[in-house]
Amino acid sequence: MSVSVLATNRLSALIFPGNYQKMWMGIRLKIAVMVQFLPGLLIGCLTFFNRTELVVSENGGIVPKFME
């Protein structure tokens, strides 16, 4: 997700160079950071405080599986 926000940031700098500072300062920047940070923090806490096991998914990736 942070890659998408960074790409949007760079694209807006190219398309709107005059409005770039106003666009990425203040509350908009805080919202962009929180949209990335809070879901990751929540999932990290769930994984940290619950018993988990890393398993290989059907696509070949490694994902945490919550144990009982």
| C-alpha–C-alpha distance, residues 68 and 65, integer Å | 10
Query: How confident is the model at residue 21, as a pLDDT?
Result: 80
Q: Is the pLDDT confidence value at 47 over 80?
A: no
Q: Is the pLDDT confidence value at 60 over 70?
A: yes
Number of domains forming the structure of the chain = 1
Query: How confident is the model at residue 55, as a pLDDT?
Result: 93
Enclosing domain of residue 20: 3-66
Residue 55: strand, helix, or coil: strand
| C-alpha–C-alpha distance, residues 19 and 48, integer Å | 42
Average pLDDT for 24-53: 83
| C-alpha–C-alpha distance, residues 12 and 6, integer Å | 10
Q: Are 5 and 32 in contact (CB under 8 A)?
A: yes
Mean pLDDT of the chain: 84
